[in-house]
Structure 1
Amino acid sequence: MLPLLLVLVLAVPLVMSTRKQKKQQAAQQELQSSLAPGDRVMTTSGLYGTVADATGDTTIDIEIAPGVVTTWLRLAVREKVEPVVETDEDSADDAETPAEESIIDSDAGVKTEEPQTTAQVAPPLEHGKK
């Protein structure tokens, strides 16, 4: 009875982790096969881009900047990401920022003093002496 209980205690977590891993792999394969042009994605290296062409079986073209298209393995796509949507709060904050930054210093030609420091320079090391 005790050996059977010991085998169950060791086998159940192993089976559960294997099932979880298979589900994750299936979800990842489903994601990679469902990619279509226009989808925002993140690669395994953390690069964000937009799918430009997904006709290849093993590769996918991702636009990482306007006019810059790179070719990646489908396996390198980690996840789809939602496009960044600006909220009303964000636009209100942005509207205030230019007014704060638009203050022009009329004393542009005035020379300012350099900041004083109390740091001391260390003496040079002498290499090769014993």
Structure 2
Amino acid sequence: MYPTLLLLQATANPIYGTLFMYVAIAAIFYFILWRPQQRQRKQHDQTIRALKRGDEIVTAGGIVGEVVHIKEQTAGQPTPEDQITIRSGESRLVVERGRIVRVGAARGAATPAP
């Protein structure tokens, strides 16, 4: 009997209905957009921090190369400003760690079969 009374009170005042609608929309946005993006961003940051020599990378500009050298700006703490030297074709380029979009497996490493 009490839940029915609360439901009647909520529908009697239009402010509660509007407030419920805004809360429901915010919850939908959180679970469909923000939370998966946050999880994906954390995974990307972990992958970039675990970068090592020999990994194949793709930069934000679309350059594909192999990591040759990593110069960290602060000792032991990877930051987005760290300088990564990559070899792409016959050229060597220096890019910032924060500009790396994708990291592939090391060249020559065996990939597990599905």
Q: Tell whether the structures are fold-level matches, with TM greater than 0.5.
A: yes
Residue 62 (structure 1) aligns with: 86
Which structure has the bigger radius of gyration?
1
Task: For 1:17-96, list aligned pairs within 5 A.
Answer: 17-57=33-73, 58-66=82-90, 68-82=91-105, 83=107
Percent same amino acid at aligned positions? Answer: 18
Could you tell me which runs of 5 or more consecutive residues in structure 2 were left unpaired when the two chains were aligned: 1-9, 11-16, 74-81, 109-114
- Tell me by how many angstroms 1:55 deviates: 3.3
Could you tell me which runs of 5 or more consecutive residues in structure 1 were left unpaired when the two chains were aligned: 85-130
TM-score (norm 1): 0.56
TM-align CA RMSD? 2.1
SS of equivalent to 1:36: coil
How far apart, in 2, do the equivalents of 1:10 and 1:71 lie?
44
Which amino acid in the other structure matches residue 6 of structure 1? M
Which amino acid in the other structure matches residue 78 of structure 1? V
- Match status 1:12 vs 2:36: no
Task: For 1:94-109, list aligned pairs within 5 A.
Answer: none
Residue 89 (structure 1) aligns with: none
Residue 100 (structure 1) aligns with: none
SS of equivalent to 1:7: helix
Contact 2:48 2:100 in 1 (8 A): yes
Which amino acid in the other structure matches residue 60 of structure 2? T
- Tell me by how many angstroms 1:46 deviates: 1.2
SS of equivalent to 1:81: strand
Higher strand share: 2
Deviations along 1:47-97, one digit per CA (max 9) or x if unpaired, are 11000112324221111123x21110111111123559xxxxxxxxxxxxx
Deviations along 1:102-123, one digit per CA (max 9) or x if unpaired, are xxxxxxxxxxxxxxxxxxxxxx
TM-score (norm 2): 0.63
Residue 79 (structure 2) aligns with: none
Higher helix share: 2
